[in-house]
């Protein structure tokens, strides 16, 4: 195992551009392991590092709602309005997937930190998972993530401190939001978009 390489934003983008590039990134929730969605070898490596079964998909971090729309089926006006109340922020939303994806749904999030969204605008969508082996406790800060995965490069970013909690997980494939997992913030009321 090698010592962690600390990278600036350009270094992170170069590492992610590699065929098997996986990088530790801080977020507004838990730090995580990330790979470009358009690099199958990197996503396979991410799955192996995590020890995650093939059937379990990763969530995807996006720079903005326009990037999200490249991964999802067309959304209703109400769903689009509701997403403006959730993002940017610590809400992972399950939506119907676009036809070019090999899955019926996709879990997406637009994180709050501006610096992270700037990186995502340059990298494209990133497959993301908490920094831990399957079944273990997730790292709550980048130092813990680096301790668990010293072979991976990490982003030395000045982002606001996270709460060390996983994002809320919300299913929006039905007629109204269904909360699957609470997060650091309360889910906004759905009724606000109905009026």
Strand order in the sheet with 6-7: 6-7, 154-155, 23-25, 32-36, 126-130, 59-61, 105-109, 91-96, 168-171, 178-181
- 147: Cβ–Cβ under 8 A, 6 or more apart, which residues? 139
Q: Report residue 3's pLDDT band, with 50, 70 and 90 as the boundaries.
A: low
User: What six digits make up the tokens of 45?
Assistant: 């490596």
Model pTM greater than 0.85?
yes
pLDDT of 52 higher than 50: yes
Task: Check residue 157 and give its pLDDT.
Answer: 83
Distance CA 29, CA 80 (A): 23
Distance CA 17, CA 14 (A): 5
pLDDT of 195 higher than 90: no
Query: What would the pLDDT profile of 89-145 be if each residue is shown by its tens digit?
Result: 999 999 999 998 888 999 999 999 999 999 999 999 999 999 999 889 999 999 999
Q: What would be the CATH architecture of the domain defined by 6-193?
A: Alpha-Beta Complex (3.90)
């Amino acid at each position: 195992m090698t010592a962690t390489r600390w990278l600036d934003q350009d270094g992170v983008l170069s590492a992610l551009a590699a065929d098997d590039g996986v990088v530790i990134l801080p977020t507004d929730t838990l730090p995580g392991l990330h790979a470009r969605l358009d690099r199958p070898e990197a996503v396979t490596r991410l799955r192996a590092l995590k020890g995650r079964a093939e059937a379990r998909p990763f969530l995807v971090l996006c720079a903005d709602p326009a990037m999200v729309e490249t991964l999802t089926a067309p959304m209703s006006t109400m769903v689009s309005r509701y997403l403006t109340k959730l993002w940017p922020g610590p809400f992972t939303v399950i939506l119907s997937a676009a036809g070019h994806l090999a899955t019926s749904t996709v879990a997406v999030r637009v994180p709050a930190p501006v610096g992270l969204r700037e990186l995502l605008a340059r990298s494209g969508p990133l497959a993301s998972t908490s920094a831990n082996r399957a079944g273990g406790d997730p790292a709550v800060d980048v130092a813990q993530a680096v301790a668990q995965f010293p072979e991976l490069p990490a982003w030395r970013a000045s982002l606001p401190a996270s709460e060390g909690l996983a994002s809320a997980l919300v299913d929006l494939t039905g007629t109204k939001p269904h909360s699957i997992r609470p997060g650091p913030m309360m889910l906004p009321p759905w009724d606000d978009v109905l009026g």
